């Protein structure tokens, strides 16, 4: 493996960084706190082709992979503009539709996802299912040429910005009593679909929703792949989801360390910069090391995914775990370095604690990742 990025990948980083800097964290915070969306930034990223770098050129994308997409997410976050819907629309939905969709579904959805003109949400989480996807109770039954959906989904991001939702639903039960899952594309304006916003203490333009499916009818042609094999299809999107979550955390960590380093060089107390004191310098250096290790794990996971290597599953989980832990260490130390200013909105650090802290819990908790690595990486007995 060559650890050096290609000229094209470096150019992509530079272009995304320059674009994101033209908006900056102040734009991100203003939009979030005023209840508005980061639409202008999203559209600008889409116009430049950055949202579709992982989608085939035949469908309007850049022909790259998740490696390139996580790179875009990291650079946006490193400029103080983490875009959560990048994890959802191009990474999860785009990847699944590209891999398992029909030719008609690819033509219908992928060009818009790549350009940013179409946003697609993803609905898997339920109040009583948690991380156990087999317990999903939202069900779709066949009625002639349609599927009829009934059930509830919980903590679904960006539904108010999306044209459609890729819904994970139960379409049967196997011999062990576990749900057979299927994926259906449901328009956000479908009759019978209701949504309620969930207030959260996270400074972000994206909104979380509870969704209620009350006899929501969609045509059978909206089924992705084969009925009952949705779990395999879901994991095609969940590994990129974990990688993208890691990239977002890595970017916020870089943002925090850059701010802290600048402050430590310029802030003078007793005649010397505070960064000359090891009590300030060493914790920042330690955080830098942890973040760089997490970035390496993230790039490895993305590379393995794009190569189709089965090891990408464990790598994606470890990358997400490592990036969330390292990112929180880095951001917390950046806040500490600023003293009281660390909590000031003006300095733009505490405003990113919520989005970064979320990465420790979502899209999968650190405890479930540890369970996965213990079982699959160490061969230990299953603990749940």
What does the pLDDT look like over 314-325, one tens digit per residue? 999 999 999 999
Q: With a cut of 80, say whether residue 364 has pLDDT above it.
A: yes
Phi first, then psi, for residue 219 (nearest 5°) are: -65, 150
Question: Which residues of the chain are in CATH 1.20.140.10 domains?
Answer: 231-377
Domain 231-377 has CATH 3.40.605.10: no
pTM listed for this prediction: 0.96
% residues pLDDT > 90 (the chain): 92
Q: Is the distance from CB of 156 to CB of 165 less than 8 angstroms? A: yes
Two tokens at 285?
């250096």
User: By the 8 A CB rule, do 140 and 170 touch?
Assistant: yes
Nearest to 100 by CA among 295, 235, 269: 235
* 129 pLDDT higher than 80: no
Sort strands 268-269 and 179-187 into parallel, antiparallel or unpaired: unpaired
H-helix or E-strand spanning residue 360? helix 353-361
The whole-angstrom separation of Cα 71 and Cα 88 is 15
| Interval 10-27 mean pLDDT | 98
Answer yes or no: is pLDDT of 7 > 80: yes
What is the pLDDT, as a whole number, of residue 116?
97
Q: Is residue 132's pLDDT more than 80?
A: no
Q: Is the pLDDT of residue 232 over 90?
A: no
- Poorest-pLDDT segment among 22-26, 178-182, 355-359: 178-182
Tell me the per-residue pLDDT of 236-276, one tens digit each, with 9 for 90 and over: 899 999 999 999 999 999 999 999 999 999 999 999 999 99
State the pLDDT at residue 175.
Answer: 77
CA dihedral for 376, 377, 383, 384, sign (positive or negative): negative
Mean model confidence pLDDT for the chain: 96
Domain with CATH 2.40.110.10 in the chain: 121-228
Cα–Cα distance measured from residue 253 to residue 216, given in angstroms and rounded to the nearest whole number: 42
| Per-residue pLDDT, 1 | 62
Class of domain 7-119: mainly alpha
Q: Which CATH superfamily is domain 121-228 in?
A: Butyryl-CoA Dehydrogenase, subunit A, domain 2 (2.40.110.10)
Per-residue pLDDT tens for 54-112? 999 999 999 999 999 999 999 999 999 999 999 999 999 999 999 999 999 999 999 99
Which residues, other chains included, contact 114 with Cβ-Cβ below 8 Å and sequence gap of 6+? 46, 49, 51, 52, 55, 59, 60, 61, 62, 90, 94
Q: Check whether 2 has a pLDDT greater than 80.
A: no
Instruction: In the chain, list all ranges with CATH 1.10.540.10.
Output: 7-119
Task: Supply 98's token pair.
Answer: 């590209």
Statement: residue 133 has pLDDT above 80: no
In this predicted structure, the answer to whether residue 214 has a pLDDT above a threshold of 90 is yes
Quote the pLDDT of residue 135. Answer: 80
């Amino acid at each position: 493996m060559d650890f050096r990025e290609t000229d094209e990948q470096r150019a992509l980083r530079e272009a995304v960084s320059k674009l994101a800097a033209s908006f900056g964290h102040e734009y991100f915070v203003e939009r979030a706190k005023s209840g508005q969306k980061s639409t202008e930034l999203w559209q600008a990223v889409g116009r430049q082709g950055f949202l579709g770098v992982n989608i085939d050129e035949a469908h309007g994308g850049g022909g790259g992979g998740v490696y390139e997409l996580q790179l875009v997410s990291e650079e946006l976050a490193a400029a103080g503009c983490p875009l959560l819907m990048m994890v959802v629309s191009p990474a999860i939905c785009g990847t699944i539709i590209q891999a398992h969709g029909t030719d008609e579904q690819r033509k219908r959805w992928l060009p818009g996802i790549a350009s940013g003109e179409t946003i697609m949400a993803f609905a898997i989480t339920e109040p009583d299912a948690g991380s156990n996807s087999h317990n999903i109770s939202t069900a779709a039954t066949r009625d002639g040429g349609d599927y009829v959906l009934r059930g509830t989904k919980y903590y679904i991001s960006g539904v108010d910005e999306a044209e459609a939702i890729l819904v994970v639903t139960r379409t049967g039960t196997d011999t062990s009593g576990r749900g057979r899952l299927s994926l259906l594309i449901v328009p956000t304006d479908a009759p019978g679909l209701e949504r309620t916003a969930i207030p959260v203490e996270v400074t972000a333009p994206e909104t979380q929703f509870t969704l209620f499916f009350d006899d929501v009818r969609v045509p059978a042609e909206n089924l992705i792949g084969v009925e009952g094999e949705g779990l395999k299809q879901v994991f095609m999107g969940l590994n990129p989801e974990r990688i993208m979550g890691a990239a977002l955390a890595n970017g916020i960590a870089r943002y925090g360390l850059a701010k802290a380093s600048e402050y430590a060089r310029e802030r003078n107390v007793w005649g010397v910069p505070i960064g000359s004191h090891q009590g300030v310098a060493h914790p920042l250096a330690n955080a830098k090391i942890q973040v760089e290790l997490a970035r390496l794990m993230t790039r490895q996971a993305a590379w393995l995914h794009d190569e189709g290597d089965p090891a990408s599953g464990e790598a994606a989980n470890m990358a997400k775990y490592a990036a969330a832990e390292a990112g929180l260490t880095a951001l917390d130390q950046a806040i500490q370095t600023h003293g009281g200013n660390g909590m000031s909105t003006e300095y733009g650090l505490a405003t990113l604690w919520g989005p970064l802290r979320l990465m420790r819990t979502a899209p999968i908790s650190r405890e479930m990742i540890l369970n996965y690595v213990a079982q699959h990486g160490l061969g230990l007995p299953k603990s749940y």
